[in-house]
Structure 1
Amino acid sequence: MSLQHQKICDPIATRLKRSSLMAMAAQAMKMGLWLMMLGIIWVLADANYGYAYALTAGLLLLSIIYYTLKIKAHDEAHYGAFELEEILRKRLAAKISQLPIGYVRTIGTGGMAKILLDDVHALHSYVADAPPLKAEAYATPVLIFIVLFIFNWPFALAVLAFCAIVFITLQLLMRRGRQFRKQYVAALAQVNSAIIEYVQGMSTVRAFDSGDSSFGRYHESLENYNRVMQGWLGKIGLGNRLARTLFSPIPLQAFLLVLGTVFYLKDMIDFMDLFLFFLVAAGIVESIHPFMGLHSLLEKSRASIERIWELEAMEGLPEVSADEAKLPSNYSIRYDNVSFAYDEGKPVLSNVSFDVPAKSFTAIVGSSGSGKTTLINLLPRFWDVTDGAILIGDVDIRHMKLDELMKQCSFVFQDSFLFSCSILDNIRYGLEATEEEAINAAKLANIHDFIMTLPEGYDTKIGERGQLLSGGQKQRLTIARAFLQNRPILVLDEPTAFSDAKNEALLMDSFRKLMVNKTVIMIAHRLSTIIGADQIVYLNEGKLIAKGSHETLLLESEAYQKLWRDYQETQNWTMAQ
């Protein structure tokens, strides 16, 4: 076992040791079975039937012990594998929750699914099968050679030399597979990502793509996978055939036959010992196949471990200790010369500064790509600022515990994410709330009447990502969740972007109730919804170019005046008849 395999298996090390010891004991019993069978042959040759009966009874008892130990070893390893799966998935899920959201999006749904599902499962296969295979691959040959050296050490030495040559050849042939394994895993991950993207985007594919290009990326990834596989098969053809020949029983048996004949003719070994060598040495060949299986499991799991370590090695958001953590004295917000860039690229925000007084309403406007969403994503520390600071009250948010920071803020995002559970469970997701409290929140969000028209009411399952609901209905469920949270800071990211006029009116009515006595930051593209804001912050290309009330900006900011004129013109657009 390599160091990386040993380290990742540390949580279940005791189980694996127990499984390995039982597997090795089983192999010792197996060796005892072979020797007992030889003993029966010897005593029968001497017509000693009493000993034959006793050895047969011992053979039966030893067989029971052997199979019991073997089954127990497999059971222990499999229990350990399931336990490790649970530990790793919990550990990885906890790690993902600590990473900046952008890192998670960079890895992508397909990449995350591969690590959490495929890679962890690949480790399950290794952990469940490795201890028994290891016992057969290593313990069996050792026990066999001990017996062989006891009976005839010169002959055993010759067999050992032959097996060493075969083993070294096997290692050289297997070493060539490591580079291929990396290419294979990368190609397979590409196929997985393409499948996930294709399925998730099915509605778009059907609406916009009626030809072969709908499968374009999927086809390309499959072709790449086939190229990798075919290229590898072409390279290993000769080596694979050589391996199959060398690691079959025929070469060793031929070697034993030739060498045994020479030793027997020179009176260096008697017939019964030669027979023992033929019978027991065959077990060496049998142990080569478990060795090859173990090597395959090691290589498959090695790539999975590397990806798991890579994810766990990612730097999460720096946390302060409980002793150093601070709590804000009020819920005002300050962006103090905030700059931000993704991975040392072009700055998305540059020296942005503004204050949001406690219990006030600040709206953020600007064209697409101006940095609006990035600005509010910095507040819950989905990313950390590159320069400057964000303060709640008089406390830098980096000096607050992450869970405490999140307890101060409620979010209603443009793309409302709902889970495939019931409406009730979605409203009180992550909260300890009664059904009555959830219903009251739904009433405040103007969604209760709709819920009651459903056959199962609040117990209605809404499908994956809430696909059985309209965009406005999903948004109002998210608002109900925010009502239930009732946190002092409220962040709204273009919450009416995809609403029609009727739904927008319902949403704005809900927002007005939700915003009472809260510090509110709202991104808006419909300027009519934020005319009454206490403050409007206007961003352009990551820079703050104007701030003030709607009336003040109309008087003092040419950029805002133009934005307002453009907005009013778009409201009067009509389709030509």
Structure 2
Amino acid sequence: MQDTKKNVILRVFRTARCNPGKYILGVTCSALSVLLSGVPFYTVYRIVRLFLLASWKGTAIPIDEIWLWEAITIGSIVLGIVLSVIGSFSCHACAFNALYDLRMRILDHMGRLNLGFYTSGQSGAIQKTMNENIEKMENIIAHDVSNIFGAGLLLASLAVLMFSLNITLALTIFIALAFAFLIQFSAFGGKQGQKIWSDLNHSSTELDAAFSEYVAGMEEEKIFGRPEAAARRLTGLVEKNREHWKVYLKRVTPIFGAYKTITISVLAFLLAVGCILLYLKPDDHNLMMELLMFLIVGPACISPLMELVEFGADLRNLSVRMDQIDAILNLQPISEGTETKPEGEANVSFHDVSFSYQNAADPLRRMALNHLTMEIPTGSFAALVGPSGGGKSTAGQLIARFWDVESGSITIAGRDIREYSAKALMSTVSFVFQDTHIFAESVYDNIAMHSKVHREDVERAAKAARCHEFICSLPNGYDTKLGDGGHKLSGGEAQRIAIARAILKDAPIVVLDEAMAFTDAENELALRESMAELLRGKTVLMIAHRLYSVQDADCIFVLENGQLKESGTHTELLQSKGLYAHLWAIQNETESWQMKGGLVHV
């Protein structure tokens, strides 16, 4: 397992599943095209050799043989282009198909994760994985592997040619290039080099995150008079990143300098060694030809060496990105039952439910719900209220299996929700959240959510949600694009769009999580009247802080610290003079506050 973990190339191909036959064809063609790129170096040497031999011997220049070598040169270039096109097309086709399949597998896998995964601050990491990280794999599949095979094939061919002609000159080239390669590789080798590279990446990531936070929070920072403090923190991270860059550059600058100097000086080394050999054998014309060949063909060894260096750098970066892809694929999907959508009954029951967001070993573990039991009959209007952090939203989200309960059970129509298929559960429960997401699509698509419904049904739902009028006032009515690059909605308008979605979905169970948070008193009253009419016969669970929104509920459940403190109708709870009555009195007192002369009066 550890060897597989270290072998980045193997991890890429196991993750991205290429078509073997097509990919081998592409790599072979690309590698052969790289090999053919070295042919013109050799043919140029052969042509120059013919001219020199004719000059030394005083014979006529063999035009036919020169034309032959020129034909070979042109043929190798043309064939190289053809093979390169075939190889590139095949490798890219395999890469795009493999990465498409990988994206689809990740999407399918994410679709089977619990919904809580998407509420845990993972959006940035998911976006990076689906875009940047997977795109980096494309370089390996479409380019690097074929280039490395080609570079290795070209180096091997040049080595055979050179060592067959002159071992001393061949050793001069390959010892110099090997030494340059080892020097460059040492920049990140060893524990110290790896630590320097790791520290630089960590500080760069920290700086990126801090800068994003700085920009996102600029409004609050200026309003509350602390932009200097935020800027000082950002400046500190910039300085820290600069120090890591200085350490990095102190290490790599001399190494890269030596690497480039040795690489560029290969011809100088050849010339020096060749001059010594010619000094020892001044009349050896073959030696002169061999030296000429090495001077012409020698530079062809540099390009494949550079491919190896760049390949090593790509592997270092890709290893971290593969870890992030594996982190998502290794998440266990939520179990799924086989039961279909319940017909007729839509009662919801919590049976001794306990749940915590922290695992059992966490010393700061706190129970979000603690032995909660409550019954919401079919067609009733129930409400969850209580102090902040009491577990209201958690209880609502557990109905749709954002997470699974730790103990106890939640049932719909008498069946544990874990027995339903995901499709059945999602078609049974509809949600309206406090924070509404508006897609960069038309108003119609934002309400219909790509379901096959008539436009009249969408408009009916919009009218019921009291958003038809403001939609008609938009530039293109229901065809107006919203979200990024389109019309921006206010918080209240966006929430009414979300309510229209829930009405149109027509699920038997509707959970409204702070659905009235952005509505004013007039719209709230109209909305409650409309929803009371249109949601009749449905099981409605409203989660609210504003108790005025739930006073007509059939049953109000009061939660505190994850436990059910009391339940009953609005009148019953006021008469019991418990927690609900206390919260009602506080809200009444708050509503009567007035601002006069800069002071709060009651």
Conserved 8 A contact 2:41-2:300: no
Tell me how far 1:104 sits from its aligned partner.
3.5
Q: Where does residue 298 of structure 1 map in the other structure? A: 315
Q: Where does residue 235 of structure 1 map in the other structure? A: 251
Residue 40 of structure 1: SS of its match in structure 2? helix
Change (3 A) 1:359 1:217: farther
Q: What code does the residue aligned with 2:290 have?
A: D
Indicate whether 1:438 and 2:458 are aligned: yes
Conserved 8 A contact 2:270-2:294: no
Match of 1:307 among 324, 329, 350: 324
Conserved 8 A contact 2:462-2:468: yes
Residue 281 of structure 1: SS of its match in structure 2? helix
Indicate whether 1:483 and 2:503 are aligned: yes
Q: Where does residue 454 of structure 1 map in the other structure? A: 474
Residue 334 of structure 2: SS of its match in structure 1? coil
* Separation (CA, whole Å) in 1 of partners of 2:270 and 2:509: 81
Q: Where does residue 147 of structure 2 map in the other structure? A: 133
Residue 144 of structure 1: SS of its match in structure 2? helix
* Separation (CA, whole Å) in 2 of partners of 1:412 and 1:38: 76
Bigger Cα displacement from structure 2, 332-341 vs 212-221 = 212-221
* Separation (CA, whole Å) in 1 of partners of 2:297 and 2:446: 65
Instruction: Show CA shifts across 1:91-129 (max 9, x none).
Output: 434433333344334444433333233323333344443
Bigger Cα displacement from structure 2, 104-113 vs 284-293 = 104-113
Conserved 8 A contact 2:183-2:255: no
Bigger Cα displacement from structure 2, 450-459 vs 404-413 = 450-459
Q: Where does residue 493 of structure 1 map in the other structure? A: 513
Tell me how far 1:29 sits from its aligned partner.
1.7
Matches within 5 A, 1:61-100: 61-100=75-114
- Gapped regions of structure 1 (runs ≥ 5): none
Instruction: Show CA shifts across 1:385-439 (max 9, x none).
Output: 1222111112211222212211101111111221122211111114222222211
Conserved 8 A contact 2:45-2:293: yes
Change (3 A) 1:312 1:182: farther
Match of 1:332 among 347, 359, 363: 347
Tell me how far 1:521 sits from its aligned partner.
0.9
Q: What code does the residue aligned with 1:227 have?
A: E
Indicate whether 1:38 and 2:49 are aligned: no
* Separation (CA, whole Å) in 2 of partners of 1:271 and 1:164: 25
Tell me how far 1:335 sits from its aligned partner.
0.9
Conserved 8 A contact 2:341-2:427: no
Bigger Cα displacement from structure 2, 554-563 vs 491-500 = 554-563
Q: What code does the residue aligned with 1:287 have?
A: P
Bigger Cα displacement from structure 2, 178-187 vs 330-339 = 178-187
Q: Where does residue 48 of structure 1 map in the other structure? A: 62
Indicate whether 1:370 and 2:390 are aligned: yes
Q: Where does residue 283 of structure 1 map in the other structure? A: 300
Conserved 8 A contact 1:148-1:156: yes
* Separation (CA, whole Å) in 2 of partners of 1:12 and 1:314: 26
Q: What code does the residue aligned with 1:42 have?
A: R
Q: Where does residue 58 of structure 2 map in the other structure? A: none
* Separation (CA, whole Å) in 2 of partners of 1:85 and 1:191: 30
Match of 1:28 among 35, 44, 47: 35
Residue 339 of structure 1: SS of its match in structure 2? strand
* Separation (CA, whole Å) in 2 of partners of 1:253 and 1:7: 45
* Separation (CA, whole Å) in 2 of partners of 1:158 and 1:302: 35
Q: Where does residue 5 of structure 1 map in the other structure? A: 12
Q: Where does residue 118 of structure 1 map in the other structure? A: 132
Indicate whether 1:539 and 2:559 are aligned: yes
Indicate whether 1:468 and 2:485 are aligned: no
Q: What code does the residue aligned with 1:229 have?
A: W
Q: Where does residue 404 of structure 2 map in the other structure? A: 384
Instruction: Show CA shifts across 1:368-390 (max 9, x none).
Output: 11111111111111112122211
Instruction: Show CA shifts across 1:324-363 (max 9, x none).
Output: 5465463111111111111312211111111111111111
* Separation (CA, whole Å) in 1 of partners of 2:20 and 2:95: 11
Instruction: Show CA shifts across 1:499-548 (max 9, x none).
Output: 22112112212321342111111112122221221211111111111122
**TM-score of the pair, normalised by structure 1:** 0.89
Q: What code does the residue aligned with 1:245 have?
A: T
Conserved 8 A contact 2:184-2:255: no
Bigger Cα displacement from structure 2, 154-163 vs 222-231 = 154-163
Identity %: 28
Bigger Cα displacement from structure 2, 171-180 vs 27-36 = 171-180
* Separation (CA, whole Å) in 2 of partners of 1:466 and 1:475: 17
Residue 419 of structure 1: SS of its match in structure 2? coil
Q: What code does the residue aligned with 1:148 have?
A: M
Change (3 A) 1:218 1:310: farther
Conserved 8 A contact 2:33-2:83: yes
* Separation (CA, whole Å) in 2 of partners of 1:66 and 1:31: 10
Conserved 8 A contact 1:362-1:520: yes
Conserved 8 A contact 1:5-1:302: no
Residue 340 of structure 1: SS of its match in structure 2? strand
Q: Where does residue 103 of structure 1 map in the other structure? A: 117
Bigger Cα displacement from structure 2, 371-380 vs 551-560 = 551-560
RMSD, aligned CA: 3.0
Tell me how far 1:78 sits from its aligned partner.
4.2
Match of 1:271 among 256, 270, 288: 288
Matches within 5 A, 1:177-256: 178-201=194-217, 203-205=219-221, 207-209=223-225, 211-213=227-229, 215=231, 218-219=234-235, 221-246=237-262, 248-251=263-266, 253-254=268-269
* Separation (CA, whole Å) in 2 of partners of 1:400 and 1:375: 18
Q: Where does residue 410 of structure 1 map in the other structure? A: 430
Tell me how far 1:364 sits from its aligned partner.
0.5
Q: Where does residue 427 of structure 1 map in the other structure? A: 447
Q: What code does the residue aligned with 2:41 have?
A: W
Conserved 8 A contact 2:462-2:497: yes
Q: What code does the residue aligned with 2:258 have?
A: L
Residue 549 of structure 2: SS of its match in structure 1? helix
Instruction: Show CA shifts across 1:292-350 (max 9, x none).
Output: 12222222222222211122222232334xxx546546311111111111131221111
Residue 318 of structure 1: SS of its match in structure 2? coil
Q: Where does residue 571 of structure 1 map in the other structure? A: 591
Indicate whether 1:18 and 2:51 are aligned: no
Residue 411 of structure 2: SS of its match in structure 1? strand
Conserved 8 A contact 1:77-1:131: no
* Separation (CA, whole Å) in 1 of partners of 2:39 and 2:404: 65
Residue 351 of structure 1: SS of its match in structure 2? strand
* Separation (CA, whole Å) in 2 of partners of 1:227 and 1:53: 60
Residue 464 of structure 1: SS of its match in structure 2? coil
**TM-score of the pair, normalised by structure 2:** 0.86
Conserved 8 A contact 2:31-2:149: yes
Residue 378 of structure 1: SS of its match in structure 2? helix
Bigger Cα displacement from structure 2, 58-67 vs 372-381 = 58-67
Residue 517 of structure 1: SS of its match in structure 2? coil
* Separation (CA, whole Å) in 1 of partners of 2:240 and 2:423: 44
Instruction: Show CA shifts across 1:69-100 (max 9, x none).
Output: 23443444445454455444444344333333
Change (3 A) 1:215 1:88: farther
* Separation (CA, whole Å) in 1 of partners of 2:397 and 2:233: 31
Q: Where does residue 3 of structure 2 map in the other structure? A: none
Match of 1:258 among 233, 252, 273: 273
